[in-house]
Structure 1
């Protein structure tokens, strides 16, 4: 028994050592500001970004174009895509292709596939998503958009990955970034539906990485917390809440740093802190009451519409 407990202790120490090394690497990459330009360009000529009309998707579109890739912008609103495409072409000189698609529907993928024919796609950013309730809300009180959320947050990831992964597999290179959420890391009461959909993305991404990493393909899931975007009603930026541009610029430094990360150092620290809270505390009635009251008040004071 003594040898067994020594063995278990060694395994625990090794596990924490790996976590510390991963965190140290995040700190190094945060301050070193490694430019991934050559690496990103080596993946292929084109990057495809879903939900490119706003927020994180728009920021990835500009950033990847600045790194020398042509970009395919996919979103629902054509006018937004046209304006973004014009600005990208004028500021970066890269080629831009736009595809109109409503990801709350499930009959759009043949149309998308037709528009992607003939393109050497090296990067896919599965960013599109919807948040039914920014304020903490009980499941039965959330808007009745369940099917739309499933299509947008889950079906889109499966279908877009299926379309593009085939080409990446034949070329034996590619990068897929799946934008999940910090709420995916453990169950979040009062955000139950959204958190569950993002947890699916996490599990799906990490399983695929095991299947395809030997074929030269990187599949990474990002689990950020607060990002100021139209979906979060432009919540005020602070040391934790990042702008979409800040988050995207930093996240690209971590594209080779494991199959999952938060995308920025501040959120890695926050995630580490939250994991120290015992589950019985987090799921207690007092904590849920805090979320429903103090956290709701904080959100109301810090969000605004443009």
Structure 2
């Protein structure tokens, strides 16, 4: 066999490998985002109650309402007592499910978890949604330019990282005892493809991703499913984005993402975000995303937006006077 024949064989095998990989990806995507609409897992099989952190707005509220719509009672955990009561009343009135509200601030660290454990006693918790999270008040900021950086770093780590294993530690033992349970951890696309100027936020989200994948491997033989959900942009107060072809509303996203339970242990949550993930991988390689030019451009744009918002607020105050 000549050298050219060897190269041709290697080339053919490489093409065949990538075609096989593409076919497998398409089959998984078909099951995850299309067949899942027809073949939905009955979430009540995990237990009577679901616990959702960060449940008063955005993705957390959407998950809480969708879980209630699918027949579960919901324990809502967040920091605003007023908003907790509003969401609880909405769920009870619209879906006829029981609720329990737990007011805590996840930025306060370890001290809050004994109180949460006490208020969850006696509940058959089948589903835990670790959703609570926060980002810098000023998006796209150089690390040293984060306002009150020392405090913000601690709060971000307590909220985005510590909350996930601590809530899991509280609820997982009961699931293991019953040999069934579902833990949904909300990560982010930013945890898969890190974005400079969001350094700490991205780092917290990759923790959620790795923790979820390892936890699933450890406990799947005991009947526990751990799903990591890594969305693109969802229209929430955190993102401040309007719904469009690329940005999902929180209720629509939660509906689609819950359909993927039982079909995928790692998901973008919906077809639109999965396609965006593929496109980003092809069109925006790491060397471009990490380039100084793009970083400076994003930083300048963020500063411009911040300045415009400040001017608008000042003008509004003048008009009110």
Q: Which residue of the other structure, out of 116, 133, 146, is the alignment partner of 2:153? A: 146
What corresponds to 2:193 in structure 1? Answer: 186
Counterpart CA distance in 1 for 2:307 and 2:192 is 25
Counterpart CA distance in 2 for 1:221 and 1:296 is 33
Of the structure 1 ranges 132-141 and 200-209, higher mean CA displacement relative to structure 2 is found in: 132-141
What corresponds to 1:55 in structure 2? Answer: 58
What corresponds to 2:255 in structure 1? Answer: 249
Question: What are structure 2's unaligned runs of at least 5 residues?
Answer: 314-321
Note if 1:166 corresponds to 2:173.
Answer: yes
Give the deviation of 1:249 after TM superposition. 1.0
How many corresponding residue pairs? 300
Kindly report the root-mean-square deviation, in angstroms, between the aligned alpha carbons of the 2 structures: 2.6
Assess, with a 3 A threshold, how the Cα gap between structure 1 residues 25 and 120 changes in structure 2: closer, same or farther.
same
Q: 1:1-306 alignment to 2 at 5 Å?
A: 12-29=18-35, 33-34=37-38, 36=40, 39-105=42-108, 106-133=110-137, 135-143=139-147, 144=149, 145-232=152-239, 234-276=240-282, 277-293=284-300
Q: Which of the pair is proportionally richer in helix?
A: 2
Give the deviation of 1:274 after TM superposition. 1.1
Whether the 8 Å contact between 1:135 and 1:299 is mirrored in structure 2 is no
Give the deviation of 1:235 after TM superposition. 1.7
Assess, with a 3 A threshold, how the Cα gap between structure 1 residues 112 and 183 changes in structure 2: closer, same or farther.
same
> Is the radius of gyration larger for structure 1 or structure 2?
2
Give the deviation of 1:134 after TM superposition. 5.1
Counterpart CA distance in 1 for 2:137 and 2:39 is 36
Counterpart CA distance in 1 for 2:156 and 2:65 is 26
Give the deviation of 1:116 after TM superposition. 0.9
Give the deviation of 1:301 after TM superposition. 9.2
4+ aligned runs moved over 4 Å, structure 1:
1-14, 293-302
Question: What are structure 1's unaligned runs of at least 5 residues?
Answer: none
Whether the 8 Å contact between 2:142 and 2:299 is mirrored in structure 1 is no
Superposed CA offset, 1:221-272 (max 9, x none): 111111111222x321111111111111111111122221111111101111
Assess, with a 3 A threshold, how the Cα gap between structure 1 residues 77 and 283 changes in structure 2: closer, same or farther.
same
Whether the 8 Å contact between 1:135 and 1:296 is mirrored in structure 2 is no
